[in-house]
Amino acid sequence: MVETETGTRHREKMAKKKAARDKIMAGKTEIRGLVIVHTGKGKGKSTAAWGLALRAMGHGQRVGIVQFVKGAWETGERGMLEDRFGDLCTIQALGRGFSWESQDLEKDTEAAEHAWAAAQKMMADPEFDLVIMDEINIALRYGQLDVANVAQAMKDKRTDLHVVLTGRNAPDELIDVADLVTEMTQIKHPFRSGVKAQEGIEF
Amino acid sequence: MVETETGTRHREKMAKKKAARDKIMAGKTEIRGLVIVHTGKGKGKSTAAWGLALRAMGHGQRVGIVQFVKGAWETGERGMLEDRFGDLCTIQALGRGFSWESQDLEKDTEAAEHAWAAAQKMMADPEFDLVIMDEINIALRYGQLDVANVAQAMKDKRTDLHVVLTGRNAPDELIDVADLVTEMTQIKHPFRSGVKAQEGIEF
């Protein structure tokens, strides 16, 4: 099935690609904790953050997670994580539900400020290698937190700390101070074709 | 800080948003396993799949993972997952490394076919609720697997099974049969500013 000529061409092409990649990698020398932003309207922003948590714990790193919005990860799932990863993972669910569910700006703001205080405490605690601020962008978007404050905290963070901030509509000030920004774009969504949200996948 | 007028306006806006959302949700009735694709050049494709695995396991669901490309998740991390989630999670690392590292199309094709056979076995096994085919799009891209075959298998799958397929350059045939497609777009990447890949974050 694989012709020799094709095989040779492929090998040459891949060798070139590898050489280019190796050259890029050799130039990378600085080691420091990253500020990572997951934004966009697509799925996967929080999920990818939890995947990063899993990966970090796989390296024996300690992870702190603050949930700025309730509901993304339910009590049962958090309980399971705490049971199995309690030695490596601390989760604080301090949000009040999505703003369109709550309709009370004042209480939302209080909850956001409380969550931000908890996140800052984790950032200052050298025990944590990675701090995830899940859905913090929602709180920023609705003016429940001061963007300049949060951006400054990212600039001032310990150099050995990774921070992940998730949620759609990441403000420009945050993107400016981030090292790595990924936008999740929805290309196709099952809701459009009448499929109900799925336990274990959607919630 | 929060003015009454602003509070009222916010409440009205959020109430409208909630009503619109509730209406959409009420129309969703079909329950079936989804075919989910994570593609694009940005980070987070595999990571979000592992996050989905975590979430599914949080619901007590069983997860099968086939790695079509070696390296995305290292032995140590897999070991940790198997230790702590061995009752819920089966991982088969059957890939040979990224194509630009390997330069041998024939061996890559063999490995891809082997991995695809393992993935199909998991799809047929009712014990699994979620099957993740990590980086399968790479194998499709380099012609190591037949796209039509894979697309047909997604159409023919058990209705109660979720499948996640990851990797950049997802072929159109796959997107056509998928229920949920998310594209991860790189907006900002630390490699560009000379930062070395970080243990626990990048690998």
- The per-residue b/e assignment along B108-134, b for 16 or more CB within 10 angstroms, e otherwise, is bbebbebbbebbbebbeeeebbbbbbb
Write the pLDDT tens digit of every residue in B82-131: 888 889 999 998 877 665 556 677 888 999 999 999 999 999 999 999 99
Domain limits for position A17: 1-30
Which 8-state DSSP code applies to residue A28? -
- For residue B104, the model assigns a pLDDT of 78
- For residue B197, the model assigns a pLDDT of 54
Over residues A44-52, the mean pLDDT reads 91
Tell me, yes or no, whether B202 lies in a domain: no
pLDDT at B193 > cutoff 70 = no
Pick the residue of A198, A202, A203 with the most B CBs within 10 A to test the interface with B by mutation: A198
ipTM above 0.85, yes or no: no
Residues B6, B89: one domain? no
Residues A168, A144: one domain? yes
- For residue B192, the model assigns a pLDDT of 46
Place A126 in a pLDDT band, splitting at 50, 70 and 90: very high
Place A151 in a pLDDT band, splitting at 50, 70 and 90: very high
Does A58 contact B81 at a Cβ distance shorter than 8 Å?
Answer: yes
- For residue B25, the model assigns a pLDDT of 59
Over residues A183-201, the mean pLDDT reads 65
Residues in A touching B103 (Cβ below 8 Å): 10-11, 14-15, 18
pLDDT at B202 > cutoff 50 = yes
pLDDT over 70, % of chain A: 78
Residues A4, A56: one domain? no
CATH number where B162 lies: 3.40.50.300
Tell me, yes or no, whether B203 lies in a domain: no
- The per-residue b/e assignment along A23-36, b for 16 or more CB within 10 angstroms, e otherwise, is eeeeeeeeebbbbb
Total number of domains constituting chain A: 2
Residues A20, A48: one domain? no
Structure tokens at B11: 């409440």
**Cα B102–B104–B105 angle (5° rounding)?**
120
Least confident range of A60-69, A183-192, B152-161: A183-192
What is residue B76's three-state secondary structure?
Answer: helix
- For residue A81, the model assigns a pLDDT of 81
Residues B180, B165: one domain? yes
Write the pLDDT tens digit of every residue in B16-50: 777 766 765 565 545 689 999 999 998 889 999 98
Residues B144, B83: one domain? yes
Residues B2, B53: one domain? no
Contact yes or no for B176/B146 (Cβ under 8 A): no
- For residue B23, the model assigns a pLDDT of 65
Residues in A touching B78 (Cβ below 8 Å): 58
Tell me, yes or no, whether B114 lies in a domain: yes
According to DSSP, the β-strands at B35-39 and B180-188 are parallel
Can you say whether residue A199 is alpha, beta or left, with left for phi > 0 and alpha for psi between -120 and 50 degrees?
Answer: beta
Distance of CA B75 to the CA centre of its chain: 19
Q: By the CB < 8 Å criterion, does A41 face chain B?
A: no
DSSP string computed for A153-196: HHHTS-TT-EEEEE-SS--HHHHHH-SEEEEEEEEE-GGGGTBP
Residue-level length of chain A: 203
Residues B127, B188: one domain? yes
Q: Which residues contact A10 (CB under 8 A, 6 or more apart)?
A: B103, B105, B142
How many angstroms separate the CA of residue A22 from the nearest CA in chain B?
10
Residues B116, B21: one domain? no
Please give the Cα distance from A124 to A180 (Å, whole number). Answer: 21
Tell me, yes or no, whether A40 lies in a domain: yes
Tell me, yes or no, whether B200 lies in a domain: no
Tell me, yes or no, whether B199 lies in a domain: no
Residues B17, B102: one domain? no
Tell me, yes or no, whether B198 lies in a domain: no
Place A4 in a pLDDT band, splitting at 50, 70 and 90: low
Residue of B nearest to A43 (CA): B182
Residues B91, B68: one domain? yes
Question: For residue A202, how many C-alpha atoms fall within 13 Å in the half-sphere facing its CB?
Answer: 17
Write the pLDDT tens digit of every residue in A83-124: 888 899 999 988 776 655 566 778 889 999 999 999 999 999
- For residue B60, the model assigns a pLDDT of 87
Q: By the CB < 8 Å criterion, does A177 face chain B?
A: no
Q: Which residue has the higher pLDDT, A2 or B78?
A: B78
Mean pLDDT for chain B?
Answer: 83
First to last CA, chain A: 44
Over residues A49-70, the mean pLDDT reads 90
Residues B18, B106: one domain? no
